[in-house]
Structure 1
Amino acid sequence: MKKNQRYLANTLITGALALLATPIFAQSVSATKGADQIRHFHINVPQAAIADLRQRIAATRWPEKETVKDQTQGVQLEKIQKLVKYWGTTYDWRKAEAKLNALPQFITTIDGLDIQFVHIKSKHKNAMPLIITHGWPGSIFELLKIVGPLTDPTAYGGRAEDAFDLVLPSMPGYGFSGKPQGTGWDADHIATAWDVLMKRLGYQHYVAQGGDWGSVVADKMAHQKPAGLLGIHVNMPATVPADVAKALNNGEPAPAGLSVKEKAAFESLNYLYKKGGGYAAMMVTRPQTLGYGLSDSPAGLASFFYDKLNEWTFSGGDAEKVLTKDEILDDISLYWLTNTAASSAQLYWENNANNFNAVDISVPAAVTVFPGEIYQAPKSWTERSYHNLIYFNEVSKGGHFAAWEEPQLFAEELRAAFKSLR
């Protein structure tokens, strides 16, 4: 091959790889201008990226089967092979894409980073503005089933006065938001950015909600007390007292004098610290190293996420009992097609703190405890952390991904939690 022909071939290959790594998203500019510009956003992943995904799945090199009969070594080979095979042969990303494109999507730049978000205004008057933050390994997809119940409550057993205007952003480094090119985008920074976003949308008063990282962000917003933040609701509260946290960190027995519910919370967290927290330790210490493998192998990414979905849903260890294959793969595909395995893990490195240890919050706060959460926060601990606790409820269904698993119940909890703040 002649020199110029090799150059042309290499250029075409490089261009094709760039196309696969960076999907094309159509955008159109809205009426707002300048630094506060809010642009319409539409998703259109190139077919070449989907074809590449399927080819990679077909070429998966699987390890040997686990040597135990349960999930103590991780995701079982037979289960993940079935999911990944379905992903590579039957699953249709275009249906997931259509779900998002059916909603009003926007993007705006805050502190030099593009933030993509969904903004749904209720048809009901005096709807309460609510910003909800997803977590890891979740995304906006885990919140889609609550859009109807929250924005149109009369169609889901609620009242017109229960309505919310919803703002659902993708965190920096997640989904279609921008990827930080430097350090500093920690939970505190995200909390500040969310207040900017709500004010930019014209909301002078609003409430905030979150689970997983979303709980951390909501807590940070409450600490910052921006003007207009009326209150927060979290479903993974940070309540662990200092003496209990010390015992957990040092591998010591539970402190004396704990109640039955406090002992149960201790044991759940003790399991996480000793056996269930390896995923977080990798992201806290080596997110970039981990990201190389997750960004190159669809099966690797799927198994890493599927492990936590099985463990954290209220499903007895089988996420497919509460979520469909398509719902699970919508979320995993979003991470794959946006190549955000590494950039999303960076948040763990940025934060590098214990997100369960007690906070000191005076802003009105509401807490719902779901039975499948990583730990069930006792009311006794919760009252010591959230000093203006306006609502506390323990429900009988739902896990870590409460909005995804039990959308109707979750919506009812938010209506009740924020009722006194309207």
Structure 2
Amino acid sequence: MSRPSSDVRAFEARAADADLDDLRARLAAARLPEAETVRGAPPGPGRWAQGVPLADLADVVEYWRTGYDWRPFEARLNTIGQFRTDIDGLGIHFLHRRSARADATPLIMTHGWPDSVVRFIDVVEELADPKDADAPAFHVVVPSLPGFGYSDKPAVTGWGTEKIAAAWVELMGRLGYGTFLAHGGDWGGNITSVLAGRFPAHVLGVHSTFAEAPPGLTTDGLTETERRWAEGTRDFWRRRGAYAKLMATGPQTIGYALTDSPVGLLAWLLDKFAEWSDTDDSPFERISRDRILDDVTLYWLTRSGASSSRIYYESHNSVDPELRVDVPSAITMYPYDVEKAPRPWAQERYRRIVRWGEPESGGHFPSLEVPEYFVNDLREGLAAVLAARG
């Protein structure tokens, strides 16, 4: 095990009252557009066909202004344990929850967009100190991606997924973890793959809800379900990927709106929580209003609308086609996620899949949507990974 470094500093979140007052004032003065022209559509995906419905947004804006309280979430972050360290000239924020168990294994968990460390806030403590004494325990590290939350905003280009993965190896080493497990979804899944592919001497194995297959694979030999998955992913990028193209080509432009208007930021992020969750109509069927507003408020208070968007500029469609993952891997494809790789495709990149899961429910944010299932699945997947290493 590496030796802990003194370069790691404790960090405590505390938003200024003036910033919270300014947020409420901006919400009170918001100018909303007219209603969508699919107004009156019955509950269901069609009601969101033009984006976040006016009535839904107005309701959340009012609650954000008059009912939501940021302080409990802020206190929760501080209770878990927050730290910062400088890597390659950039301040990196992270949560670090050491387990009380002597047999715990280090685990780094990486979020994506439009989420943040909020993605894992409800599962960290159970993973570190499980109620079941027979369940595996982990020393949990949850970094904020560069440009997200309380991590610094890169002032130069270059902070793509390859550099982030290298920074995570450095971060874990500074905490005394020379070898570790890794989990991720969305961009976190991408980074987890790069971690395992580039740094197999440090990565014991991975669990991911995002398995990006190499390009150019044929659908020959796929089952009917696997063909639907492949077509669904293609359809997603053909018809619903404009948000990614916009942030990949103009993060600064959209960043002005996301930094200046809390309502604009809310709508931009809420649209994805709605579209990508396993719900019939509203994201709040699975994820509470407070938890989503914790995420949006974190973006707002840290002014990270533009800086978080730049990960698309740096890394969209940038995974090395030749990247291969040879460490043991556990992959879970949640049914309502937006990208699902057929197992034969995934195996072209992840060459030691020791566990493959296809749950009956859950979408892009399983740790928020189905946290109990997520925790059990992660434990079983990582147990299989460790068993495969002997």
Q: Same fold (TM over 0.5)?
A: yes
Q: 1:388 is matched with which residue?
A: 352
Report the Cα offset of residue 377 of structure 1.
2.5
**Aligned with 1:79: secondary structure?**
helix
Gap change, CA 1:226 and 1:197, over 3 Å in 2? farther
**Aligned with 1:307: secondary structure?**
helix
Q: Distance in 2 between matches of 1:99 and 1:414?
A: 22
Q: 2:44 is matched with which residue?
A: none
2:49 matches 1:75: no
Q: Distance in 1 between matches of 2:17 and 2:220?
A: 60
Q: 1:230 is matched with which residue?
A: 204
Q: Distance in 2 between matches of 1:239 and 1:392?
A: 15
Structure 1 residues 87-127: Cα deviation after superposition (integer angstroms, max 9, x where no partner):
01111111111111111111100010011111111111120
Verify the 8 A CA contact 2:189 2:211 in the aligned structure 1: yes
Q: 2:87 is matched with which residue?
A: 110
Gaps (5+ residues) in structure 2? 42-46
Task: Report 1 or 2 for greater relative contact order, CA contacts < 8 Å, sequence distance ≥ 6.
Answer: 2
Q: 1:351 is matched with which residue?
A: 315
**Aligned with 1:145: secondary structure?**
coil
Matched to 2:167, the amino acid is A
Matched to 1:45, the amino acid is A
Gaps (5+ residues) in structure 1? 1-31, 245-254
Gap change, CA 1:240 and 1:321, over 3 Å in 2? farther
Q: 1:307 is matched with which residue?
A: 271
Report the Cα offset of residue 418 of structure 1.
1.5
Q: 1:319 is matched with which residue?
A: 283
Farther-moved stretch of structure 1 (334-343 vs 372-381): 372-381
Q: 2:138 is matched with which residue?
A: 164
Q: Distance in 1 between matches of 2:234 and 2:199?
A: 32
Report the Cα offset of residue 416 of structure 1.
1.1
Structure 1 residues 367-399: Cα deviation after superposition (integer angstroms, max 9, x where no partner):
011112113322222222211111111111211
Verify the 8 A CA contact 1:115 1:171 in the aligned structure 2: yes
Q: Distance in 1 between matches of 2:319 and 2:123?
A: 25
Structure 1 residues 343-374: Cα deviation after superposition (integer angstroms, max 9, x where no partner):
00011000131669895321221101111211
Report the Cα offset of residue 301 of structure 1.
0.4
Q: Distance in 2 between matches of 1:313 and 1:357?
A: 29
Q: Distance in 2 between matches of 1:139 and 1:358?
A: 29
Farther-moved stretch of structure 1 (267-276 vs 404-413): 267-276
Gap change, CA 1:278 and 1:158, over 3 Å in 2? farther
2:182 to 195, 208, 215: 208
Which structure: greater helix fraction? 1
How many residues align structurally? 376
Verify the 8 A CA contact 2:230 2:340 in the aligned structure 1: no
Matched to 1:48, the amino acid is A
**Aligned with 1:57: secondary structure?**
helix
Structure 1 residues 163-209: Cα deviation after superposition (integer angstroms, max 9, x where no partner):
11100110100000010010110000000000001111011221111
Q: Distance in 1 between matches of 2:305 and 2:50?
A: 22
Matches within 5 A, 1:107-146: 107-146=84-123
Verify the 8 A CA contact 1:323 1:405 in the aligned structure 2: yes
Aligned-pair identity in percent equals: 41
Q: Distance in 1 between matches of 2:78 and 2:274?
A: 28
Gap change, CA 1:386 and 1:151, over 3 Å in 2? same
- Return the TM-score normalized by structure 1: 0.85
Verify the 8 A CA contact 1:313 1:400 in the aligned structure 2: yes
What RMSD, in angstroms, separates the aligned Cα atoms of the two structures?
A: 1.8
Matched to 2:353, the amino acid is L
Report the Cα offset of residue 239 of structure 1.
2.2
Structure 1 residues 296-325: Cα deviation after superposition (integer angstroms, max 9, x where no partner):
111100000010000111112410001111
Q: Distance in 2 between matches of 1:205 and 1:281?
A: 36
Q: 2:29 is matched with which residue?
A: 59
